[in-house]
Structure 1
Amino acid sequence: MPDYPSFTLSTIGIIHSCYKEKFGIPRQPGLVTESTARLELIPPYNRLDTLEGLSNFSHIWVQFIFHACLTEKWKAKVRPPRLGGKEKLGVFSTRATHRPNPIGLSVIKIGRIYQEDKKVFIDLYGADLLDGTPVLDIKPYLPYADSIPNSKGGFAPTPTQTKNVLFSAEAKSQCEHYENLHNREITTLIKQIIEQDPRPSYLSEQIDREHGITLWDVNIKWCARNDHLEILRIEYK
């Protein structure tokens, strides 16, 4: 066998995100526009001059490590959730997290670029990244080159259809209290996450089973009903 090269890469930054666990993270970036995150650059890359000119762009490509999947082995064929877990495709034909090299790629809207207590941050919007995600590199998104008209989307040519989400009276009151207490929008964030129906395919037909999703310091309890998904209550962790 030829001696193919291998490489060692350095982490340039860490993601601070509202998503504290894998369950509930949208399967693509930009689907949950209310989600917020920050990219913190770490030494020796935590210098504002490394980001000079980036504020002229609206989006960046973020290359990162699926760090919560490092202990799980990759498989040549996987079951994409988009196909209901019923069909297998080659891993390189999907965006599965379990890959030979656990590298992810997301295009994300950026906001403020700033320094705070000698730390350098970029605000991110619509990110699909777990809290603590190691970042390998960022590059500006170029609309003329990165957006390809008439391209084919394979088994996922269009977004999935979202589901109707309703809040119980208790959950609605708790969301209002949380927003007043923390000055942080959570009602729309919860709705956008749950309407994607993050349940694994083998649970997609079950109703009235309670699920939980952790956002920041709260656990969102919800379940599927016959014709909608219902937010039951919010529990502080």
Structure 2
Amino acid sequence: MSITIHPIGTIRTPYKEKFAIPRQPGLAKSAMGEISFSKECNDPNYLRGIEQFSHLWLLFHFHQTADKGHTPLVRPPRLGGNHKLGVFATRSTFRPNAMGMSVVEFAGVSYQNKQLILTVRGIDLLDGTPILDIKPYVPYADSIPNASGGMAQHSPELMAVIFSEQANKQVQKFAPNYPQLHSLILEVLSQDPRPAYHQNSHPDKTYGMTLYDLNIQWQVIEQQNVVLTIQKM
């Protein structure tokens, strides 16, 4: 049996590359996304009543890794990249049907120039990700207080993030266009986006990530992420 699924829209996000995207939704609350609906779903009636819900489930397609296939076992970053688990016991992007799901915060709906847009907050999706479905988050059913989270029972420890004098000036320079830039960088880097195998080595390495159209470079110095520069690409 084959199943054909057509995206209902596409999301625009600050994350232009996979590296440094938070590994779970809600960890970077300053990360905003705008879902533009496809021609078939570009009707405000599809979202009637959605403002009743503070949070939503997004079902999406891992479009950047879908063609790389999958394996039964993967190495979760949460376990340091040294232990294997079954792919269905993880949230790995390398899955048989390349589908993902995220809980995001509802932030508004607009319909301008005949284009329906849903704005959400706290996203962990790559820019251009195809959205397959949207469902309301229902607290009494979706929140299970005594659930067991296995290797991810508790949130990871956050790293301190500081800005160099130069980076502080650059944040202020870009603030008119990106008012959430400072808080977004803080939230993303506090999660320590480095590969797991780098976390106890490579002390002098300079890392880079792309947010919006900006290249942010940083180093880990004395267990702190130090933002060095923020430059237009």
TM-score class normalised by the smaller sequence: over 0.9
Q: Which residue of 2 aligns with 1:201?
A: 196
Instruction: Specify which of 28, 34, 43 is matched with residue 47 of structure 1.
Output: 43
CA distance in 1, matches of 2:149, 2:58: 21
Match of 1:126 among 122, 140, 164: 122
Whole-angstrom distance in 2 between the partners of 1:203 and 1:235:
24
Q: Structure 2-normalised TM-score?
A: 0.98
Q: Partner of 2:96 in structure 1?
A: 100
Cα displacement string for residues 60-91 of structure 1 (whole angstroms, at most 9, x for unaligned residues): 10000000102212011000000000110000
Write the distance in 2 (CA, Å) between the matches of 1:133 and 1:227.
Answer: 33
Query: In structure 2, how many angstroms separate the alpha carbons of the residues matched to 1:168 and 1:97?
Result: 34
What is the rounded CA distance, in whole Å, between the counterparts of 1:212 and 1:11 in structure 2? 31
Q: What secondary structure is seen at the aligned counterpart in 2 of 1:68?
A: coil
2:112 aligned residue:
116
Alpha-carbon shift at residue 183 of structure 1 (Å): 5.2
Aligned to 1:21: 17
1:222 equivalent to 2:229? Answer no
* Separation of aligned partners in 2, 1:25 and 1:125: 14
Partner residue, 2:177: 182
Q: How does 1:131-210 map to 2 (within 5 A)?
A: 131-179=127-175, 181-182=176-177, 184-205=179-200, 206-210=202-206
Shift of 1:50: 0.7
Q: State the superposition RMSD in angstroms.
A: 0.9
- What is aligned with 1:212? 208
Following the alignment from structure 1 to structure 2, what is the Cα–Cα distance between the partners of residues 194 and 107?
A: 21
Partner-residue secondary structure (3-state), 1:111? strand
Specify every segment of 5 or more residues in structure 2 that has no aligned partner in the other structure, as ranges.
none
| 1:56 corresponds to 2:65 | no
Q: 1:159-212 CA distances to partner (integer Å, 9 max, x unpaired)? A: 000101111000011001110x31522111101100101011121122121111
Distance 1:200 1:183, change over 3 A: closer
Deviation at 1:232, TM superposition (A): 0.3
Would you identify which runs of 4 or more consecutive aligned residues in structure 1 move more than 4 Å?
Answer: none
CA distance in 1: counterparts of 2:184 and 2:56, whole angstroms: 22
Matched AA of 1:201: A
> Amino acid of the residue matched to residue 211 of structure 1?
Y
Taking structure 1 as the reference length, what is the TM-score of the superposition?
A: 0.96
Partner SS for 1:155: helix
Name the % identity.
Answer: 42
Size of the aligned set, in residue pairs, is 232
Describe the SS at the equivalent of 2:183. Answer: helix
